[in-house]
């Protein structure tokens, strides 16, 4: 349903997740590296820290591009440690999503339809500011409405979030699994990187293996994501769902 929107972003990003397509961004990815989740937990919940989540959220929502790559890393993974974080919460406004679903298959949207999609994207982003899919929708509408400066600003923010995820590993095996903060980020990250995700398999103790459509016979058949912290935070909030 969202494939057409995702293709738009791929053309702009040149940020493919597979290592051999990174080119000049490889050094940025190496500089960030795998996130130190303990350090991020401490800093993102400390009001005196420069990486305090509330401070970074305010900067992220501003229509500028002043955040550093490290700011984005602390901001994205700091999401895990917020009181209202719930990785498996029900989708907000499901009736609105159902109404909008047919629009994603259209080749061109009317101004009224673009407003509907932007309103929905903004409602979702108010609940989850790092929603990759809805950031993509917002950028697409800005572009179609001729608001190119806003499109570039938010494209820059999306690029950095994808860079943060890509920096967390290679996805090649469990030891180098990518780390995301929401399960749906797995599919969105791969699709935005030009990789078509097909299905998900859970591999104990805390890995998702996403099967993909290989680009050629030498391409990986799937990629690993580490959801250990997602599960940890979920069960902290829902202890009744812990099973032996």
pLDDT at 2 over 50: no
Taking only the tens place, the pLDDT of each residue in 33-52 is: 999 999 999 999 999 999 99
Q: How confident is the model at residue 8 (pLDDT cuts 50, 70, 90)?
A: very low
Ordered by start, the domain boundaries in the chain are 3-238
Compute CA 23 distance to the chain's CA centroid, rounded to the nearest angstrom.
21
Average pLDDT of the residues in 75-101: 88
Q: What is the mean pLDDT of the chain?
A: 87
Between 103 and 18, whose confidence is greater?
103
As a whole number of angstroms, the distance between CA 223 and CA 242 comes to 27
What does the pLDDT read at residue 25?
53
What does the pLDDT read at residue 12?
36
Q: How far is CA 239 from CA 14, 168, 204, 226, 243, in A?
A: 41, 28, 19, 21, 9
Only one residue has tokens 């719930």, namely 86
What does the pLDDT read at residue 108?
80
Taking only the tens place, the pLDDT of each residue in 144-190 is: 999 999 999 999 999 999 999 999 999 999 999 999 999 999 999 99
């Amino acid at each position: 349903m969202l494939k057409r929107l995702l293709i738009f972003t791929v053309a702009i990003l040149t940020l493919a997740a597979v290592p051999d397509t990174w080119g000049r961004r490889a050094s940025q990815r190496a500089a960030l590296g795998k996130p130190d989740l303990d350090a991020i937990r401490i800093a993102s919940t400390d009001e005196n820290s420069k990486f305090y989540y509330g401070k970074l959220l305010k900067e992220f929502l501003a229509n500028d591009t002043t955040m550093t790559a490290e700011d984005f890393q602390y901001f994205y993974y700091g999401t895990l440690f917020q009181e209202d974080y719930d990785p498996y919460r029900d989708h907000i406004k499901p009736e609105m999503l159902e109404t909008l679903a047919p629009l994603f298959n259209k080749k061109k949207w009317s101004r009224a339809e673009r407003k509907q999609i932007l309103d929905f994207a903004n409602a979702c982003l108010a609940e989850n500011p790092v929603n990759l899919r809805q950031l993509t929708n917002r950028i697409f509408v800005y572009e179609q409405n001729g608001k190119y400066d806003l499109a570039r600003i938010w494209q820059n923010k999306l690029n950095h979030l994808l860079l943060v995820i890509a920096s967390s590993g290679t996805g090649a095996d469990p030891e180098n699994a990518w780390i995301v903060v929401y399960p749906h980020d797995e599919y969105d990250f791969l699709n935005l990187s030009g990789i078509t995700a097909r299905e998900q398999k859970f591999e104990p103790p805390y890995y998702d293996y996403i099967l993909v459509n290989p680009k050629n016979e030498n391409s990986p058949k799937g990629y690993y994501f580490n959801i250990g912290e997602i599960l940890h935070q979920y069960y902290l909030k829902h202890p009744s769902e812990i099973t032996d």
